[in-house]
Chains A and B, each alone.
Chain A
Amino acid sequence: MNNNQENIDKIFKNTLSDYEVESPAGEWEAIKYDLDKADKQSKIIFIYRFAAIFLLFTLLASAYIIFNFKNIKNKNFSNGLSEKTALYKTKKDTKPVKKHYENIKNNNINLQDKVSYKQPNKNNTTNKVSNTNINEKQAIAEKNTEQIEIIATIEPKPPKINRKVKASQEIIFPKEYIENVINEIYNQTAENSEKKPKNFDKWEVGGQFAPVYSYRQSNINNALVKAGTNLGSVSEISQNLKSLEKSAIVFSGGFKVNFKPSKKLSIQSGIYYSQYGYIQNNVNLNYNYDGVASAYNQIYTSQGVLIIAPKSSEVNQKNITNNREELNSINLYNDRNNQISEYVITKDVTQLFNYFEMPLVLKYAVFDKKIKLELMGGLGANVYLNNIVYVPEKNGRQILGETTTPTNIFNYSGIMGIGFNYPILPKLIFNIEPSFKYFINSSYKDLLLKSHPYAFSFYTGLNYKF
């Protein structure tokens, strides 16, 4: 019996192990389509990862800079007085003292250095401060500050100054130290004191969001028209496109970082998710009664060939078949046995292109008071993510397909605009930035029409400065 079984195995193995059958026609194309799709997805994943790393890097860099900046300030200041433990109190007007205190901090002035620096000037007749009696100075300073009291809590390692410890764990600073502070205040308030440059926050981080008016500018490739296409003349194509396509409202938003090397100038970058799009008028969408696409519609547009392939789950049959008015506008086919087996609906179809945008924008403040007005201009690197074709529905949208025309992954746009900044809190700025973006390169490869998307965006957002 075993022999028989082995014989059976042998028969089949010998005959079928290397049996070849002609593979199905068009199978390679189907495999190729899936491979292309997988490649596209892996590129998108790469882009997402890149964006995440970029964002992380930016955040870490910002955190590092903030941390270092504060450390430097603390280090310099702690030679005289710890920033954390010092507290100035004035009964009526704290501004001059605070301002002085801030100036000491921000200019990285070491109080002890300041004292030693001032010693040689004591006999200088041009310096009124050094020759002024301490009581007079104090009187002048107090006139400005309305009775100053400097209090500090105890530190584990106190600054190298003599101190008296109160029962309440507060330190009253020694006379010499208060003298120095009073000298500083005097210097600041005295007419002959030198004017120091005002300090400002160099960094801003924030988020922005914008509704975007988006469309495209199409340049017809004359050479191709001359070479003979059946699309008609240049003017005919332009006219056709005007009647077939219109602008769309889309969205953009992201995270931004602003660095100010000077008071008026700033450089802005960040990472944004940006959409561009347009609407194709009166597209005929074919459906089976089951909601399955009866055929793959292909629409030739300025943005490539759109492939419309609705899925059954995404077709709202009830709305279509129950709505009388809509039914009247539907072309019905194959009406066998009083059953509608196929229908066509004419709708406006929106095509969206999604990008990651990394702008580099130079801003110049032309007006800088309570409200700041800036002019801005720069470039943006736009990394293509994907595109979708959809029809707006009552409860969202019905995604129909996408374009299969090869799309440029890396695109560059010119950016210009104006920015209004208003501080709603000392460190928090509300900003409005109307801007215009234009794709320098065509968004598609090898297309009869070179298409340059553009967008008017109305960004609003909040910035935190430090």
Chain B
Amino acid sequence: MKNVIDDISKIIEGCKRGNRNAQEKLYNKYSKLMFGLCLRYSNNYDEAKDILHEGFIRIFKYIDQLRDINAFEAWMKKIMVNSALEKYRNKMQTNSLIDAAEKNIDNYSIEAELSEKELLKMVQELSPQYRLVFNLYAIEGYSHKEISDMLNISEGTSKSNLSRARAILQEKIKSITSEFSMKNKYE
């Protein structure tokens, strides 16, 4: 573990000096994780690619401001999220609200039955604002107050958006799992 931290420390120090090799190592080490995050915040591959690009440029630009190496991954994620938010603000589109009724979901574990790709697809299919709020709240762990500041919306809107996003996702999960159950039943 200590070696890993030392290794990352060296890479970060290299990045702070603007060393291209260190930057490339950092990119190779974290690009997959960051791209996964970018995909969650966008509804298509190209947009995620843009976020990744912009995010890494910012990471290299501001890395000398990083104080706590232990929090490096969280710091990177925060920068990526900010890049995604900026992308969202720049490409703000008027999306009609989806009126999806909240429906209960059976309290059973379906994680194993749903692949990462399917879940990602569900998130990507959310409208941009629902997607952002859901990602920020449910996965990144931001509070509604923080989200309202980040997106320049009220806390009430943030809560409402989260609620609708959850409802949509519940619906999607339910339809997939019911398809899955039917399939199993007849097989």
Contacts and interface: CB of A to CB of B under 8 A. Distances in A.
Main secondary structure of the interface of A (DSSP, over half): helix
Interface string A16-50: 11111111100110111011001100000000000
B18 A23 contact: no
B23 interface: yes
Interface in B140-177: 163, 166, 169-170, 173
B53 A16 contact: no
A27 B53 contact: yes
Given A7-B105, A8-B170, A35-B57, A21 B32 contact: yes
A30 B50 CA distance: 11
Contact of A28 (B27, B119, B134): B27
Contacts of A38: 57, 61
B130 interface: no
Contacts of B31: 23, 27-28
B89 interface: no
B102 interface: yes
A8 B32 CA distance: 24
Nearest to A34: B57
A18 B77 CA distance: 11
Contacts of B40: 16, 19
Main secondary structure of the interface of B (DSSP, over half): helix
Interface in B94-151: 102, 104-105, 107, 110-111, 114, 116, 119-120, 123, 134, 137-139
A11 B116 contact: no
A30 to B, nearest CB: 6
B72 interface: no
Interface in A29-83: 30-32, 34-35, 38-39
A15 B110 CA distance: 11
Given A11-B114, A12-B139, A16-B116, A31 B107 contact: no
A8 B166 contact: yes
Interface string B23-55: 110011001111111011000010001001100
A126 interface: no
B177 to A, nearest CB: 11
B107 A30 contact: no
Contacts of A17: 139
- Give the interface size bracket for B toward A: 35 or more
Contacts of A27: 31, 49, 52-53
B116 A8 contact: no
A31 B34 CA distance: 14
Given A23-B52, A31-B27, A39-B18, A4 B32 contact: no
B107 A3 contact: yes
A21 B36 contact: yes
Given A16-B36, A16-B40, A16-B120, A35 B20 contact: yes
B114 A31 contact: no
Given A12-B138, A16-B123, A28-B24, A35 B60 contact: yes
B39 A7 contact: no
A404 B109 CA distance: 55
B114 A22 contact: no
B107 A7 contact: yes
A197 to B, nearest CB: 58
Contacts of A31: 27, 53, 56-57, 60
A306 B110 CA distance: 57
Contact of A11 (B33, B35, B49, B111): B111
24 contacts: A4-B104, A4-B107, A5-B166, A9-B139, A9-B166, A11-B114, A11-B119, A15-B114, A15-B119, A16-B40, A18-B33, A19-B33, A19-B36, A19-B39, A22-B32, A24-B45, A27-B49, A27-B53, A28-B27, A31-B27, A31-B57, A34-B53, A35-B20, A35-B57
Given A14-B111, A19-B116, A27-B52, 18 more contacts: A1-B104, A8-B166, A11-B119, A12-B123, A12-B138, A13-B138, A13-B139, A16-B116, A17-B139, A18-B36, A19-B37, A20-B33, A21-B39, A27-B49, A28-B31, A31-B60, A38-B57, A38-B61
Interface of A: 1, 3-5, 7-9, 11-24, 27-28, 30-32, 34-35, 38-39
Per CB-CB distance, the 7 closest pairs between chain A and chain B, nearest first, are A23-B31, A20-B32, A19-B36, A9-B138, A23-B35, A21-B36, A21-B35
